[in-house]
Structure 1
Amino acid sequence: MKMTQTLPKESAALTDSEHITNKERLSYGASDFACNVANGMVGTYLMYYYTDVFGLAAGAIGTLFFIARIVDAISGPTWGIMIDRTHTRWGKSRPYFLWFSVPYAIFFILAFSSVPLGPLGKLIWAYVTYIAIDILYLGINIPITSMLPSLTASPQERVKFSTVRQVLATTGATLISIAVLPAVQLLGNGNDKQGFLVTAIIVAVLTAFLLLVTFKNTHERVHPKHQTKLSLKQSASALKGNWPWMIISLMYFFFWIGMQTKLQVTVYFFKYNMHNADLASFMLGLQALSLVVIVFTPFLTKHFGKKGTMVIGLGLCVISQLILGVGAKMMNVPILAGATILGYFGNGFFAGLLPVMLADTVDYGEWKNGVRAEGLVTSFSGIASNLGMGMGGVVTGFLLSMNGYVANHAQTSQALNAIEMNFVWVPFIGFGIGLILMYFYKFDKMQAKIDADLKARHEAAD
């Protein structure tokens, strides 16, 4: 027998746009600006910090990232279940910004603190602080996505929210990509340990502040008329037969394996393979160009649908890696820059659409199983991305270690090939698998019926 729960009033959903202001859209987007600034620094520079500044071995860091992924597999669903069981005057997802923004900021600072310990002590410090920020990051990032289905039931309003979110997220990621290394040099005055610490303090304070702005200025509108806490069994039932959720989660996982290996090895590639570390900030900063694509995503989806637009995005990512491989072999900066720009265009489509497609999976779970479990369903976006990012870290760490990478030394040809493999071919495989998965995604063809059926149920429950 299918489980049922009281469903939201459709009449309220139809007038969402009358109550949603640009201030609220910007405040929602500020949350992902904050997360991308913080997580961008972790994802792009923490491995480099561990190996070349803190003095840990690449293989040891690979093991750390692997263990952290095991923790993610537990903590991610736990956060989702907690959100589904949370009922406060602020809503289900919003309170998490209030409760966990400051703890995350504190551990973020500690992760970039070069404490004067021996090799074992440093490794323990890395384990404790990295796993802590990993867990807490899910606690502030999952609510960003789980809140979207509750902000509005309107598909077009969701696209607007998501577009603003991704514009600000990309802005944050671009800013941190460009600014970290110059900030470390400026604030450290030649002392990278001090530079990373002061930079981390600035990032942590900004992140906590913006998450509190999101908490203050957003509103959850779509929720059951008579809210009850979902049991674990009820929440999990929203995943039963939810094939759009399965496909999106897998696609997100493989995409982030590719993206993370590329991001975190960019500094290594330009420092050791190209002998010009300053180019790393320039190449990472090119992701600002993806804003052009993100802004036009709502218009493109009207013509190509969400699936078609996503296929275009992933296809561009795959092609860009092939061109990047040519540029890497030729050591040609213009080719590398052109391929990077093409890849960021593709990434813009992906980033702009993914939150909307995840919100669709919440609707599908409600339509198929009678249970609306925003927390657990959308929590797997954070789990999939973190698992993908972690596995990217594992791949990078072990490939570097197995091929003789030694920090701050001239690298052997074997080590240089390992760096290139992480920069070009691991991302190519990850993006390619994501593209193949989209072939099986059929939600767009069903959306009109799903929306109509849910509307009828909501009106009947009123």
Structure 2
Amino acid sequence: MLTSASAKNSDKVSLKTLISYSLSSYGMNVIYNLTAVYLMFFYTDSFGLNALAVGTLLMVARVIDAVVDIFIGIAVDNTNTRWGKFRPYMFIGAFLVTLTTLALFLSPDLSSAGKLVYAYVTYIAWSISYSILDIPYWSLSAAITKDAAERTKVVTVPRTVASAGLWTVNVVALPLVYFFNGWAGAVAVLCGLFFVCMMFTVFGVKERYVVPRHEKQTLKGVLRLFFFENRPLRLLIISFFIIEMTANIRNAFTLYYFKYNLGAEAFIPLFKGLTVGFQIAGNVAVPFTAKWIGKKSTSIAGVLITSISMVALYFCGNSISLVFILSCIISFGVGLNYVVMSTMLADCVDYGEWKTGNRSEGMVFSANVFRAKLAAAIGSAVGGYALALAGYQPNIVQTNTTLTWLSLLFTIIPGILTFLAVGPMKNYELTETMNSKIVQEVRARREQAEPSLQ
């Protein structure tokens, strides 16, 4: 029989596995942030779509995709193949995401109506393809190790590396566009980088601990688990939704704010590089702050840092240096939240198994992706509608009214909205002490159900 020491040692995650798993997080965030940061700008200023039409497109497509995510999560929970539970989806998803991302940034010579139809088809296809990849990827994190501390590392390191993907896009995307004299060549380079990273995970990471379900996952079971059986997950998703929705609103206006309010479009790559650097610093700080004040308090601290700094940013006027300083502080707070809340999702997987007897990685992480897509849908729609209502016209000098709204939507409005995320987190009860007890009880149940190891 395995001793407790040898069992614990077998749960250690090797450096090779950690690197192989983290590379996909980097590649996926290169692609995700390429669309999150630049797609609306591409649609309005390069492809020639109306801002109001773009807002509706982004909202409709992401709502459709968010609903599809739930069914992808159900499929993942019910999958069991000789190649694994999660990796087959990731292999297929990598191909689909590469092809649809290339299609997103093409500029076919079509009528105005034809361009809009093309944008709808390609963006919905891209969103679903990304979900086929994203849900099993993060679900895989709960199957690499049983050890709670090692699992935190498995989530924290890729989330930190993900910020490097955001940094890469923010720093090199526009220079690549200028180098290739268009978006197609730049996107092809980034897609190639993404695909290579994905293959490292597909072929380099083993699914060591896949727990068979006692009953088939269904939509009814998903709804029951979320609304009645997993309160910590519900509160976490609501808070995370508020944070990411407001981040999407603010991010949508970064390019416009620098170009029209500050007249400093040339500073965008530097700004993005610095702010992502501070977001990575926030990521790295999570293990220390979580150990010091706990995960819940770390998330609340991140919200307060972000919210207060956003409001203060409004009073900076056109001071580029103050915009840089406060935005770096904001990014640090965002970095805290994104990583600590991601580790809390893995805790909610254990809570759900403890409460119901069934482990639902696919459901938990598809709920999180659903949250992200819905936040992006509303955030992007608000951005597109606000641009139109403010009287925005591309590539001209904006009116004072338009400039005021661009400023408000980059500072005070997302600052106030972000503060609302404190409410759900104050009621989140899954503390470190409670989670440790749950992990021990779940492990004991599994050991009783499994044959003794001789």
Q: How many residues align?
A: 446
- Which of 268, 272, 294 is equivalent to 1:284? 272
For residue 412 of structure 1, what is the amino acid of its counterpart? T
User: TM-score scaled by structure 1?
Assistant: 0.92
Aligned to 2:404: 417
1:318 has 2:311 as partner:
no
- Contact 1:238–1:373, Cα closer than 8 Å, also in 2: no
Q: Judging changes above 3 Å, is the alpha-carbon distance between structure 1 residues 293 and 73 closer, same or farther for their aligned structure 2 residues?
A: closer
Q: Which moved more, 1:286-295 or 1:244-253?
A: 286-295
- Contact 1:14–1:154, Cα closer than 8 Å, also in 2: no
Q: Judging changes above 3 Å, is the alpha-carbon distance between structure 1 residues 92 and 237 closer, same or farther for their aligned structure 2 residues?
A: farther
1:252 has 2:245 as partner:
no
Aligned to 2:230: 242
- Contact 1:84–1:376, Cα closer than 8 Å, also in 2: yes
Q: How far apart are the structure 2 equivalents of 1:13 and 1:151?
A: 17
- Once the two structures are superposed, the pairs formed by residues 36-435 of structure 1 within 5 Å of their partners are 36-188=29-181, 195-224=182-211, 229-239=216-226, 240-286=228-274, 287-327=276-316, 330-435=317-422
- CA RMSD in angstroms, aligned pairs only: 2.0
1:446 has 2:434 as partner:
yes
Q: How far apart are the structure 2 equivalents of 1:259 and 1:105?
A: 25
- Contact 1:290–1:347, Cα closer than 8 Å, also in 2: yes
- Contact 2:257–2:410, Cα closer than 8 Å, also in 1: yes
Q: Judging changes above 3 Å, is the alpha-carbon distance between structure 1 residues 395 and 11 closer, same or farther for their aligned structure 2 residues?
A: farther
Q: Judging changes above 3 Å, is the alpha-carbon distance between structure 1 residues 430 and 30 closer, same or farther for their aligned structure 2 residues?
A: farther
Q: How far apart are the structure 1 equivalents of 2:188 and 2:9?
A: 38
Q: How far apart are the structure 1 equivalents of 2:334 and 2:372?
A: 14
Q: Secondary structure at the match of 1:54?
A: coil
Cα distance, 1:226 vs structure 2? 7.8
- Contact 1:10–1:459, Cα closer than 8 Å, also in 2: no
- Contact 1:98–1:215, Cα closer than 8 Å, also in 2: yes
Residues 85-118 of structure 1: per-residue CA shift (max 9 Å, x gap): 1112232222211111111111101100000111
Q: How far apart are the structure 1 equivalents of 2:120 and 2:231?
A: 35
Q: How far apart are the structure 2 equivalents of 1:382 and 1:134?
A: 11
- Which of 440, 445, 450 is equivalent to 1:457? 445
For residue 421 of structure 2, what is the amino acid of its counterpart? G
Q: Secondary structure at the match of 1:42?
A: helix
- Contact 2:354–2:438, Cα closer than 8 Å, also in 1: yes
Cα distance, 1:148 vs structure 2? 1.3
Cα distance, 1:354 vs structure 2? 2.1
Q: Judging changes above 3 Å, is the alpha-carbon distance between structure 1 residues 399 and 12 closer, same or farther for their aligned structure 2 residues?
A: farther
Q: Judging changes above 3 Å, is the alpha-carbon distance between structure 1 residues 12 and 40 closer, same or farther for their aligned structure 2 residues?
A: farther
Q: Judging changes above 3 Å, is the alpha-carbon distance between structure 1 residues 48 and 12 closer, same or farther for their aligned structure 2 residues?
A: farther
- Which of 392, 413, 424 is equivalent to 1:437? 424
For residue 312 of structure 2, what is the amino acid of its counterpart? I
Residues 147-202 of structure 1: per-residue CA shift (max 9 Å, x gap): 111111211111211221022100110110111111111211xxxxxx21111111
For residue 423 of structure 1, what is the amino acid of its counterpart? F
Q: How far apart are the structure 2 equivalents of 1:10 and 1:206?
A: 43
Cα distance, 1:236 vs structure 2? 4.6
Q: Judging changes above 3 Å, is the alpha-carbon distance between structure 1 residues 366 and 184 closer, same or farther for their aligned structure 2 residues?
A: same
Cα distance, 1:228 vs structure 2? 6.8
Q: Which moved more, 1:24-33 or 1:39-48?
A: 24-33
Q: Secondary structure at the match of 1:15?
A: helix
Q: Secondary structure at the match of 1:423?
A: coil
- Contact 1:109–1:197, Cα closer than 8 Å, also in 2: yes
- Contact 1:238–1:371, Cα closer than 8 Å, also in 2: no
Q: Flag structure 2 segments of 5+ consecutive residues without an equivalent.
A: none
1:34 has 2:27 as partner:
yes
Q: Flag structure 1 segments of 5+ consecutive residues without an equivalent.
A: 1-8, 189-194
- Contact 1:237–1:369, Cα closer than 8 Å, also in 2: no
- Contact 2:314–2:408, Cα closer than 8 Å, also in 1: no
Q: Percent identity at matched positions? A: 32
Q: Judging changes above 3 Å, is the alpha-carbon distance between structure 1 residues 458 and 13 closer, same or farther for their aligned structure 2 residues?
A: farther
Q: Secondary structure at the match of 2:420?
A: helix
- Contact 1:81–1:232, Cα closer than 8 Å, also in 2: yes
For residue 21 of structure 1, what is the amino acid of its counterpart? S
- Contact 1:238–1:366, Cα closer than 8 Å, also in 2: no
- Contact 1:403–1:414, Cα closer than 8 Å, also in 2: yes
For residue 273 of structure 1, what is the amino acid of its counterpart? N
Q: Judging changes above 3 Å, is the alpha-carbon distance between structure 1 residues 458 and 417 closer, same or farther for their aligned structure 2 residues?
A: same
Q: Secondary structure at the match of 1:221?
A: coil
Q: Judging changes above 3 Å, is the alpha-carbon distance between structure 1 residues 370 and 253 closer, same or farther for their aligned structure 2 residues?
A: same
Q: How far apart are the structure 2 equivalents of 1:137 and 1:307?
A: 29
Cα distance, 1:332 vs structure 2? 0.7
- Contact 2:278–2:329, Cα closer than 8 Å, also in 1: no
Q: How far apart are the structure 2 equivalents of 1:13 and 1:47?
A: 52
Q: How far apart are the structure 1 equivalents of 2:213 and 2:345?
A: 24
Q: How far apart are the structure 2 equivalents of 1:433 and 1:285?
A: 28
